């Protein structure tokens, strides 16, 4: 797996080099007419998001959210007198597919990337966009692994794994958990949260991590993990993977007679989790989640606009994708150019720009200063804000 991923990344990188070579050729004619980079035509925003595969449900939410912002900005005359254009490619929540999608977005002339959902799939795209000097405003992917390379072009618009873990630990303490079981699916995003949750919990004597389990995604039988959780006498289970396995684990925990609390991380916040677990089993399951339009005060008007445009309900990461486009437009406007280096500088300088999660200002690591994680709870067939 490791080696094929690497081959994929190398192939994609090679593709980028070729693409850059051909772009360079085109650039000369461009500068001849335009003078100093491209200053004409549409401003192209690229988005890699899952449209197939295990997380395919998320893609349309992100795509529509971004498109809504593009439409609104274009209706007001665009940016620097130019129209925005959104180009979407499928990343399938798979590193190889994502690398190919990123390479394609680069060849299609992406100036700012506003995509990225699965962290493990977003990781290989960092260097592909980085080599082309394209700023990335990542709306959803939030593993701290994304920050390890210190890539100057990478900005995270979602709370990070560290912030999510902190929110989780705070809630565990508040709800009086004694023995916590942490379960992840061994992917970058999921493992990041469990590791950090375990570290954060160390500081508190009343909160004990009773067991830590890693399961393999894509299987059906999680009885091994469930039995280990039951044996550790856990009264609080925190699942940090995605909704398919999450649903199965909740169902199997309940079948095994588990009576304690269950919480899931943002990758599992999807109605499918409730369907797979069974509505009865899912009642009262908590979730750590970044703000969704349904949970944001005053989000109703935005939901109505979204519905009018796409005849569908917004979902997880619709607002973040909407904000990613707005932040990109703001940075390009402030930079007065689509030049990668200038836009990155403008993004670092943004201070107090209003987005859904509050006033935007990036930390030196290019993450949000305010994390903005909410605790949701399952009521009926959906997640609602826990009060």
Partner 1 sequence: MDVHYLLQLVLNGLFVGAFYGLVALGYSMVYGIIKLLNFAHGDIYMLGAFAGYTMLTIGAGALGGGSIVALVVILVIAMVLTGTVGLVLERVAYRPLRSAPRLSVLITAVGASFALEYGVAVGYGPNPRVYPVGFGNGAVDIFGARLTYAQLFMMLVALGLMIGLDMFIRRTRSGRAMRAISQDPKACLLMGINVDNVISRTFFIGSALAGAAGVMAGAYYGKVDFLMGFIIGLKAFTAAVIGGIGNLRGAVLGAIVLGLLESFGTALLGSEWRDVFAFGFLILFLTVRPTGLLGERVTERV
Work out which of 108, 204, 221, 370 binds partner 1, going by CB under 8 A.
221
Structure tokens of 62?
């992100």
Q: How far is the CB of 93 from partner 1 (least distance, A)?
A: 11
Nearest of 133, 165, 134, 130 to residue 146 by alpha carbon: 130
210 contributes a contact to partner 1 by CB under 8 A = no
Rounded distance between C-alpha atoms, residue 122 and residue 136, angstroms? 10
Q: How far is CA 343 from CA 21, 129, 135, 330, 347, in A?
A: 22, 14, 7, 9, 6
Rounded distance between C-alpha atoms, residue 288 and residue 174, angstroms? 14
Q: Quick one: 63 or 251, whose CB is closer to partner 1?
A: 251
- Please choose, out of 200-208, 240-248, 312-320, 374-382, the segment that lies near partner 1 by the rule CB under 8 A: 240-248
220 contributes a contact to partner 1 by CB under 8 A = yes
Binding residues among 241-260 for partner 1 as defined by CB under 8 A: 244, 247-248, 251, 254-257
311 contributes a contact to partner 1 by CB under 8 A = no
Here's the x/- map for partner 1, 18-57, by CB under 8 A: it reads as ----------------------------------xxx-xx
Q: Please tell me whether residue 232 adopts helix, strand or coil conformation.
A: coil
Structure tokens of 136?
């990335």
Q: Give Cβ neighbours of residue 34 (< 8 Å, ≥ 6 apart).
A: 40
Q: Please tell me whether residue 182 adopts helix, strand or coil conformation.
A: strand
H or E stretch at 60: helix 58-75
Q: How far is the CB of 289 from partner 1 (least distance, A)?
A: 21
Q: How far is the CB of 249 from partner 1 (least distance, A)?
A: 11
Here's the x/- map for partner 1, 88-127, by CB under 8 A: it reads as ----------------------------------------
Question: What radius of gyration do the chain's Cα atoms show?
Answer: 21
Q: How far is the CB of 229 from partner 1 (least distance, A)?
A: 10
The dihedrals phi and psi of 41, each to the nearest 5 degrees, come to 80, -175
Angle among Cα 259, 261, 263 to the nearest 5 degrees reads 140
* Burial degree of 80 (CB within 10 A; 0-12, 13-18, 19+): middle
216 contributes a contact to partner 1 by CB under 8 A = yes
Q: How far is the CB of 351 from partner 1 (least distance, A)?
A: 41
Q: Quick one: 46 or 50, whose CB is closer to partner 1?
A: 50
Q: Quick one: 52 or 359, whose CB is closer to partner 1?
A: 52
233 contributes a contact to partner 1 by CB under 8 A = no
Work out which of 276, 329, 335, 344 binds partner 1, going by CB under 8 A.
276
Q: How far is the CB of 364 from partner 1 (least distance, A)?
A: 35
User: What number of chain residues touch partner 1 (CB under 8 A)?
Assistant: 36
316 within 8 A of 267, measured Cβ to Cβ: no
Q: Could you tell me how far CA 171 lies from the centroid of its own chain?
A: 22
For 270, which DSSP code? S
Work out which of 22, 31, 206, 227 binds partner 1, going by CB under 8 A.
227
Work out which of 27, 278, 358, 372 binds partner 1, going by CB under 8 A.
278
371 within 8 A of 168, measured Cβ to Cβ: no
Residue 217 backbone class (left: φ over 0; alpha: ψ -120 to 50; beta: rest): beta
Q: Quick one: 130 or 247, whose CB is closer to partner 1?
A: 247
Q: Give Cβ neighbours of residue 28 (< 8 Å, ≥ 6 apart).
A: none
Q: How far is CA 59 from CA 10, 47, 50, 182, 275, in A?
A: 26, 10, 5, 28, 19
222 contributes a contact to partner 1 by CB under 8 A = yes
Q: Quick one: 258 or 322, whose CB is closer to partner 1?
A: 258
Q: Quick one: 88 or 328, whose CB is closer to partner 1?
A: 88
Q: Quick one: 44 or 253, whose CB is closer to partner 1?
A: 253
Work out which of 4, 22, 186, 341 binds partner 1, going by CB under 8 A.
186
Q: How far is the CB of 33 from partner 1 (least distance, A)?
A: 44
H or E stretch at 268: none
- Footprint of partner 1 (CB under 8 A): 52-54, 56-57, 186, 213-216, 218-225, 227-228, 230-231, 244, 247-248, 251, 254-257, 272, 275-276, 278, 280-281
């Amino acid at each position: 797996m490791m080696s094929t991923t690497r081959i994929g990344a190398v192939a994609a990188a090679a593709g980028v080099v070729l693409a850059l070579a051909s772009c360079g050729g085109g650039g000369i004619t461009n500068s001849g007419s335009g003078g100093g980079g491209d200053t004409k035509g549409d401003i192209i925003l690229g988005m890699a998001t899952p449209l197939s595969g295990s997380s395919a449900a998320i893609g349309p939410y992100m795509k529509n959210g971004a498109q809504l912002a593009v439409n609104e900005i274009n209706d007001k005359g665009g940016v620097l007198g130019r129209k925005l254009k959104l180009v979407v490619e499928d990343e399938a929540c798979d590193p190889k597919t994502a690398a190919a999608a990123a390479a394609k977005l680069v060849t299609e002339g992406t100036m700012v990337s506003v995509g990225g959902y699965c962290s493990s799939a977003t990781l290989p795209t960092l260097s592909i966009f980085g080599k082309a000097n394209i700023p990335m405003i990542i709306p959803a992917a939030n593993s701290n692994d994304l920050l390890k390379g210190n890539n100057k072009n990478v900005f995270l618009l979602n709370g990070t794994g560290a912030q999510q873990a902190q929110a989780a630990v705070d809630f565990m303490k508040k709800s009086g958990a004694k023995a916590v079981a942490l379960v992840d699916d061994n992917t970058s995003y999921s493992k990041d949260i469990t590791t950090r949750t375990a570290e954060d919990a160390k500081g508190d004597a009343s909160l004990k991590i009773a067991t830590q389990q890693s399961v393999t995604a894509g299987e059906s039988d999680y009885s091994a993990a469930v039995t280990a959780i039951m044996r550790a006498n856990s009264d609080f289970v925190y699942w940090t993977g995605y909704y398919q396995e999450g649903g199965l684990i909740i169902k199997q925990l309940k079948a095994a007679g588990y009576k304690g609390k269950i919480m899931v991380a943002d990758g599992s916040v999807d109605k499918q989790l409730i369907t797979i677990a069974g509505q009865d089993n899912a009642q009262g399951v908590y979730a750590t989640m970044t703000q969704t339009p349904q949970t944001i005060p005053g989000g109703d008007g935005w939901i109505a606009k979204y519905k009018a445009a796409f005849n569908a309900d917004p979902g997880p990461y619709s607002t973040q994708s909407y904000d990613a486009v707005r932040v990109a437009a703001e940075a390009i406007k402030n930079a007065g150019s689509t030049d990668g280096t200038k836009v990155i500088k403008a993004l670092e300088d943004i201070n107090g720009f209003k987005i859904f999660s509050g006033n935007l200002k990036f930390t030196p690591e290019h993450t949000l200063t305010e994390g903005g994680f909410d605790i949701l709870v399952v009521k009926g067939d959906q997640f609602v804000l826990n009060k």
